[in-house]
């Protein structure tokens, strides 16, 4: 399979698993078609080889498909490139019903408690971990098989960045999430 076909396969896979909204899917499909039509010219401008992060993401989507296809599972990015797969419990309270969510698949959410199912290294998929350390609170540790709880959860669901266990409904959002230092200015 050539790189162009790999890109199309990625686009279709992401759309199939509802990890891309329709507008992004359309733009990527148009990009693919233009690239195919004008491949001689565009080959000079756009690399044919998909970035390694694209291949890594495809591997993650394939490896963890059983979780991705079940909306009880959610995803968190931790220190050291770890991604934690957690499961919502009957007792779990979240802010997923808040207003002004642009895309529910990529929005950041908070919850009260979750069961830790799996922790893996997003840069080295053959590596799993028993523990994951929170970006925000280094003493908050995620341990496989345990239930994590936030006893001081902020029940104002409209507030995004406040007390609670933060997560994404989409593993792609967790994969690309980067925690910036507190003094980060964007420059």
From CA 166, how far away is CA 152, in angstroms rounded? Answer: 13
Domain count, the chain: 2
The pTM is what? 0.70
Burial letters for 93-110: b for 16+ Cβ neighbours within 10 Å, e otherwise? Answer: bbbbeeeeeeeebbbebb
Judge contact between 127 and 73, C-beta under 8 A.
no
Range of the domain at 138: 67-176
Residues 72 and 46 both lie in one domain: no
> Is pLDDT of 92 > 50?
yes
Of 5-9, 89-93, 134-138, where does the model show the most confidence? 89-93
Residues 88 and 136 both lie in one domain: yes
pLDDT digit string, tens, across residues 56-69? 889 999 999 999 99
Residues 39 and 75 both lie in one domain: no
């Amino acid at each position: 399979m050539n790189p162009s076909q790999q890109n199309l396969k990625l686009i279709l896979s992401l759309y199939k698993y509802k990890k891309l909204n329709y507008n992004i899917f359309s733009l990527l499909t148009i990009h693919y078609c233009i690239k195919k039509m004008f491949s001689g010219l565009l080959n000079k401008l756009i690399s044919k080889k998909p970035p390694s992060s694209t291949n890594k993401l495809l591997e993650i989507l394939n490896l963890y498909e059983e979780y991705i296809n079940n909306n009880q599972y959610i995803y968190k990015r931790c220190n050291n490139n770890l991604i934690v797969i957690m499961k919502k419990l009957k007792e779990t309270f979240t802010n997923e019903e808040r207003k002004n969510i642009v895309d529910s698949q990529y929005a950041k959410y908070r919850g009260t408690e979750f069961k830790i199912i799996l922790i893996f290294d997003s840069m080295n998929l053959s590596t799993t971990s028993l523990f994951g350390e929170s970006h925000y609170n280094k003493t908050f540790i995620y341990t496989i098989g345990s239930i994590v709880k936030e006893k001081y959860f902020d029940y104002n669901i409209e507030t995004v960045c406040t007390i609670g266990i933060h997560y994404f409904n989409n593993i792609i959002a967790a994969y690309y999430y980067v925690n910036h230092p507190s003094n980060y200015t964007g420059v």
